[in-house]
Structures are given as structure tokens and as C-alpha cells.
Amino acid sequence: MKNMIDIRLMLSKKRLIGLFVWLTVPTLLTMGIFYIFNDVTDDFSVPVGIANDSDEEEVESIIQEIGDNNLINVRMIEADEAGRLVEQHELDSTFVFDEQFYDNLENLRRTNMIESHYSNRSLAYGAIKESVGAVVQERYGLYYAKNMINQVEEENDAEQSDLETVDTLINDLIDRFNLLEYEYSYYGDITPVSDHEDMNIFLIWSIVTFFVTLFIFELIVSERRQKVMQRLAFTRYNMTKYFLYQVSILTILLVVSDLIAWFVFEFFYEQSISILTVLSVRLMMILFAYVLAVLIKNVYTYLLVSLFVIIAIIIFTFVLNPLFVTMDLGYLNHLNPLYQFINEEITVYWSVGLLVIIALFWRVRHA
Amino acid sequence: MKWFKHIMLFINNDIKLLLRKWRTLPLLLVAPVIMLVMIAFLAIRFIGDFEEMDIQVGLTNLDEAQETTMIVNALMETSDISEMLTIHNMTVEEAEIAISSNEIAANIIFPEDFFADMTGGNSSTVEVVGNADMSLESDIVNEIVATVTKHIRNSQASILAIGYRAAEVGVDEEEVDEMILNLFVEYFVQVMSSSDMLDENLQSNVATNNTNNYYILSVVFVLLIIWSTIISIYLKGETHQRVKTRMKLYGVTELTESISKIAVLIASMIILAAISLLGLYFFTDILNLAFDNILRVITLVALFIIAIGGIHILIGILFDNVKTQLIVKLIMSILLIVFSGALIPEIYFPEYLLPVFDYSVSHMTVYWVMEIVFGGRFYMELVPIAIAIGVIYGLIVLASLFKGVRRA
């Protein structure tokens, strides 16, 4: 074994730094991608135009409340350009609060209170409409309560409350009473995944590290072509044995890098997965890369095929997976080598399949 | 004259290189097309499934009060709910069996004394028990019920306030109770139909009416970017150091090689672009434009090809390592696609990313092509893309010369 390590060091002297750089890539790149997916995508927002033709402060505060939603990026516009801006798709949708809006709100005429403009290209109109509707409806509810209260007061010759009194009363009651609560759980002892959970960092990591593994195994393809391999004939190793040793050295290095990644994600990102799952997916990746490296003789072709494999996995994971699930074709997901890992299972099927392929090679070669 | 001969020689060589791979190359060029079509097809089916979704839901009403039944019925008849859900009344035990056998996606439970607690301001909890095997459907039910409860909470506060004030001014208890019941029912119907408040106007013009055309054109640009990446990767043959030295002795410079590569890459891209544009012209009405506008589109596409071809060649010169080259080309293609505005329009991007669009060659092209095709403009801005091309090719010349010096 010591010989082997020496050979590894000797052969990779020039590439040693490169190798170690590659080993840090999975952790660092994953962190970068995680940041982009989690933080930058949150900053994407829907540009919504709002025209305000009324002078009432009340309307201003409604518009402000609409803008409090992070998803909505409010821009103030003129009422007469509301249609044009949507048509030219400079804004996703526009809402017009006209002069009568406040009057309608006060007198509880809620039908067609707001004019909205959207087009077939308005990607988010449905959600935006709900959100604007909810804000206005809540304010409308306040006026509705005030109106009813005033009506009751009038019938009983009591003093008329103004809006502020009603608002305070309502907030008072919210504090004093327990309003309706709501609970969601799955049947059995399964906790539902909450909506706003961070993206699964191990999912990103598995793809990145698969990519890196395939690229590191290029070593095997290129070394096989080097002149130095002829000298193996003079040692007690044959080529297969030699490469098996080399693969185990690379495996150890990769496992160390896995453990570091696992540690970082477990403690700094507070996402967890069992180490066994990580090690099983590592085994699968090594086998996969080995089979690929044995099959393909040309370095450049090997790299291209690796790239293709990774792109295919990305498409499977992010595009096809949800489609398969809704179309009851879930079993097709097993075409994705990372599928079991993504589901936090121990990767078995692909490893077994790859071992069978390797065993077949062996037989063919020795037959 | 000698360098010209060399260039021709390399062009010949590169064409041979491409042709030698004539079996796999067309396959690789068609692959992204098939992939995109497949994804689009699946997505359309998926959206179709989603719109026609009919989710089976259980409902357990543990409250015997008549009022609760009324409210629950009113809720279930509102359009948001009745369009997507089919409700079955059942007991908790029945629901558990139905969930285990995947007959229902979720069970909604209204607790005992729901109405009394709600009007009395006591705590009570609506529960949704989902089915982990049908998590997508049960999450949708969850969303709907969560929105409904949020609305109920809002109205509850208002209605409690009305009742409170009514009692304060001396309305007798019975009358208050009746008033509260009526208000509740009325309120729910109102809240659940909040889209009544909007006077909705659908704007339409060429672009918005033909969303399909818009997406087809976007996809063509994405394909052009992907194709140029594939071809440029293919053009990179393995040249051994020894051959390189020998070539140098013949007076071949790095620049000669680059120029011939650019020529071959651009020529093959022009063929592909021509095929796509002809396809658009004959099979869709996207290019059904005035003659000078067709010329404008062709000019823009041609400049676009020259620019991205140059970028790929530049990457090839700047990075010697094959692996690095592949990765940089991949990242560059992704950036060109994302910042073209073809897939996700510019307007949805966060403000701090907007300046990137000013420097994105793909955006310079896509923006004006879209304006001409869908905006009916008879104008295009060529200065930015011309500057970009100047910068890219200037860098190619500089990098080639520098590399030649370093190697010598």
C-alpha cells in the first residue's frame, strides 16, 4: 500500500494542488449555490403598478400595506397608463384606485371597487390579485364593522363611534379573546414539510460532488494512456490491481471531503442527513465514475460524457421529478442515480447495478 | 499571403474535425431540441392536470349546532373551494380508513362547539389531517383551509366587536346572537368572493395574445446559445504539445488558429440559425413582418452569433486546462441564458441584478428582436452590441498575441 501512495504522490505531484482544490469544491460551491438559490431568488419580485387618484390618507396606507408584501414591488403610476404598461409588459399587472374608491369603501359598495389590468403574460397575476384583495378586504371589514355598529347605535340612540374607536375595539378583542386556531398534520406520525423551509443543501451538494467525482476520475482515464503504465509490467502489480488501489486512495480522500461537508452543513446550516446515507451515495458515485472511466478511453470524451450525466441528473431532479410524481410515473425517478439519496434513503439499487456491470467486465476479461 | 493560406488550412481541418463526428454531432444538436420539447409537453400536461384537479376531501363536523352546518355549507359552496375539492362527510374513523387506502387527500375537522366557541371568543381549532402519500394534494387542501381560517379570524374579530358594542348599547342578548349568526354567514360569502372587488381588464396585443409565439422565440434563442456551446466544445480537438511546436516552426500563430476556429464556429451557427429562422418563417407567423423588419431581425441574430461565437473562442484561448474550459463555457452559457430575459423577463429580477442586463449580449439581441416582432417597432439599437463585439474580438487578438509571446 505504501508503494501505491508513493506512486500516487509521484504521479500527481504536478496535480496535487489541483486535486486538493477539487476536493474543497463540493463544500464551497454548494455553499455558493445555496446562497444564490435561497437568498437571491427571494429578491425576485413582481413589479406591480398602482395608480392612486384619491387624496385620502386611508388609501395611501392601503397601498403601503400592499407593498409590505415582499413578493410585490410597487411602483406608482398614472391611471391612464395602467393599460399600456401592462400591454408592453413593463409591469406584471396594474391596479387603479380611482377618485370614488374611498367613497365606495366608506359606503360599503365593494363590487368593482378597484380596476385591475393584466395580460396573458402576467405570470403572477393570480397570486397578486389574491394578495391585493386580502388587504383591501381586511380594510373593508373594518368599515363594515363600523357601519354595522353605527347602525346599532342609531337604533338605540347611542353615541356614534368613529373608525378609530372601532379599530381599537377590534384590536382589543383580538388580544382578549382566543380567535380560531388552525392546525395541519399528516395522518400517522409524519410531520409535513413547511413551505418556507430552506432549500435542501444536501441535494445541491450531492449533484456538485457527483460532478467533482466524475471530473477527478479523469485521472484514471488519462493515466491509463501515459507511457509510465508500461513500467507496471516490471512490478508485482497488474493494471487492474494498480487502478483498484488508486481508486481506493481517491475514495479515502473523497470520503474525508464528504465528512467535512457533512459536518459543515450539519452544524452551520442545521440540516441533517445520516452519515450512512452519505457514504452509500459516495460508494455509488465511485462505482459510477469507475465504470465510466473504464468504458471511455478518450479523456475529452470522458469529460463530455460526465458533463452530460450531470446535466441529465439536474433535469431529472428539478424538472422531471415533480412531473413524474403528478403523472403517477414515480418509478421512472429511479433512472436518476441520486434519487434514493434525495429521498434520504440509502443508495442501493444503482450501486448493486453498477457492481453487476463491474462483475460482468471481470468475467468478460478473464473468460 | 502565407497567413491566409494557414487560415484556410485550419478551416479545412476544423471542418474535417466536425464532419468526422457527423454521426454524433447532429444527435447532440437535436438532443436539446427534443429535451426542450419534451419538458414543454410535460409541463403543459402538468398544468392541464393541475387545472382539472379534483381533490377528494373528507369533512368531519363534530359540532352539532345548526349554525355550524350552515356556515360549513356556505363555505363549501364558494367557488374557490368547490372548483377544486369534492367534499365527503365522514366520521374521524372513516376518514382514517379512507386516508390509509388513499381515497381522500385530507380530512378537515371542525371541533365540538365550534360555533359557540367562535362567537363566544373561546379558543377552538380547525384541524386538517393530511395524507402523506398524497402530499401534493393534501398541501393544496392545507393552503385553501389556511386562507379560509385567516379570513374567518378577521371576520370573527369584526363580528365580535359588533356584538360587543350591540350588547353595550343595550340590545338584548337573543337579538345579538341572531345578529351575529346572520353576520357570520353573510361575511363568509363576501370574504370568499373577494375577486368581486376587482374590475378586471385583460390587456391584449400581438405579444400577449400569442404567448406561445413569445415562448417559441425565447426557446430559439436558448437553443442558439446551447448549440454554440456544443459546437465550440466539439471544435476543441486535442492538439499535442509536439504538434503545436511543429506548427510554430511553420509560422502558425495562435491568432491564425483562433481566426479559423471563429470562422468555422460562426459558419456552422449561421447554418443552424438560418434553419431555425426558416422554420419560424414557414411554420409560425412570428416572422410575418415587413421586409425591412425581417432584415433587422436577421442582422440582430447575425451579430448575436458573432458575439457568442467570439465569447466561446475567447474562453478557449484564456483557459488552457480542458476541465476549466468546459466549466467556464457551461457557466457562461447559463449566464447568457438567464440574463437574456428570454425565460424570465427582466422585470422580475431584483434591482441589484438589473445592471447585468446592460452588459449581456444576449439581452441586447433578445430585447430588440422581441420589440420588433411583438412590439411592432421599426427600429433597433446596434451600438451596444457593436461595442460588445469590438471588445470581445479585441480581447481575442490581445489574448492570442500575448499567448504567442509567452509560448515563444
Torsion of CA A153, A154, A157, A162, to 10 degrees: 50
Distance CA B120, CA B114 (A): 10
A17 contact partners, CB below 8 Å, separation of at least 6 = none
Q: Would you say how long chain A is, in residues?
A: 367
> What average pLDDT does this structure show over B227-235?
87
Residue whose cell numbers read 486535486: A19
CB-closest option in B49, B130, B348 to A46: B348
A307 touches chain B (CB under 8 A): yes
Q: Please give the radius of gyration of chain B, using alpha carbons only, rounded to the nearest integer.
A: 33
C-alpha cell at B235: 471544435
Q: Is the ipTM of this complex over 0.90?
A: no
**A187 pLDDT exceeds 60?**
yes
3-state helix vs strand vs coil in chain B, percent to 5: 75, 5, 20
Question: Nearest CA to CA, how far is B294 from chain A (Å)?
Answer: 21
- How many CB atoms lie under 10 A from the CB of residue B331? 11
CA dist B183 → B155, B158, B180 (Å):
9, 10, 5
pLDDT of residue A198: 65
What are the structural domains of chain B? Answer: 53-197 (3.40.190), 205-407 (no CATH)
CB A207 within 8 A of CB A281: no
Partners of residue A40 in chain B, C-beta under 8 Å = 350, 353
**Residue B156: exposure state from Cβ atoms within 10 A (0-12, 13-18, ≥19):** buried
A71 touches chain B (CB under 8 A): no
Partners of residue A162 in chain B, C-beta under 8 Å = none
**A209 pLDDT exceeds 80?**
yes
Question: Nearest CA to CA, how far is B127 from chain A (Å)?
Answer: 5
What confidence tens digit (pLDDT) does each residue in B305-363 have?
Answer: 999 999 999 998 888 888 888 889 989 999 999 999 888 888 888 888 888 898 899 99
What is the sign, positive or negative, of the torsion defined by CA atoms of B263, B267, B269, B273? positive
Distance CA A342, CA A328 (A): 18
What confidence tens digit (pLDDT) does each residue in B86-131 have?
Answer: 888 888 888 888 888 888 888 888 888 887 787 777 778 888 888 8
Partners of residue B46 in chain A, C-beta under 8 Å = 322-323, 326-327
What's the per-residue H, E or C state across B239-303? CCHHHHHHHHHCCCCHHHHHHHHHHHHHHHHHHHHHHHHHHHHHHCCCCCCCHHHHHHHHHHHHH
User: Which strands form B55-61's sheet, in the order they lie side by side?
Assistant: A181-186, B125-130, B106-110, B55-61, B85-89
A230 touches chain B (CB under 8 A): no
A91 touches chain B (CB under 8 A): yes
CB-closest option in B139, B197, B330 to A110: B197
CB A77 within 8 A of CB B332: no
Residue whose cell numbers read 389556511: B146
Distance CA A94, CA A48 (A): 6
Distance CA B68, CA B75 (A): 10
CB-CB under 8 Å, B197 with A323? no
The DSSP code sequence of B348-395 is GS-GGGHHHHHH-HHHHHHHHHHHHHHS-------HHHHHHHHHHHHH
Domain boundaries, chain A: 2-39+200-366, 46-176
Distance CA A67, CA A218 (A): 52
Question: Nearest CA to CA, how far is B114 from chain A (Å)?
Answer: 9
A170 touches chain B (CB under 8 A): yes
What's the per-residue H, E or C state across B151-183? HHHHHHHHHHHHHHHHHHCCCCHHHHHHHHHHH
- Find the range with the poorest average confidence among A140-144, B207-211, B337-341: B207-211
CB-CB under 8 Å, B197 with A300? no
**A237 pLDDT exceeds 80?**
no
The DSSP code sequence of B46-61 is HHHHHHT--EEEEEEE
Please state the separation of Cα A123 from the chain's center in Å: 19
Percentage of chain A lying above the pLDDT 70 cut? 90
> What average pLDDT does this structure show over A16-41?
84
User: Which among A87, A80, A77, A88 has a CA at the least distance from the CA of A50?
Assistant: A77
Question: Nearest CA to CA, how far is A330 from chain B (Å)?
Answer: 12
A63 touches chain B (CB under 8 A): no
Classify B115 as helix, strand or coil: helix
CB B30 within 8 A of CB B112: no
What confidence tens digit (pLDDT) does each residue in A47-106 have?
Answer: 999 998 888 888 888 899 888 888 888 999 988 888 888 888 889 899 999 888 888 888
Q: Would you say how long chain B is, in residues?
A: 408
CB A153 within 8 A of CB B171: no
CB-CB under 8 Å, B326 with A304? yes
Please state the separation of Cα A116 from the chain's center in Å: 32
Distance CA A111, CA B206 (A): 31
pLDDT band at A233 (very low <50, low <70, confident <90, very high): low
- CATH 3.30.300.30 is right for the domain spanning A46-176: no
**Beta strand spans in A78-140 (E):** 93-97, 114-119
A182 touches chain B (CB under 8 A): yes
DSSP structure class, residue A118: E
pLDDT of residue A196: 47
pLDDT of residue B207: 63
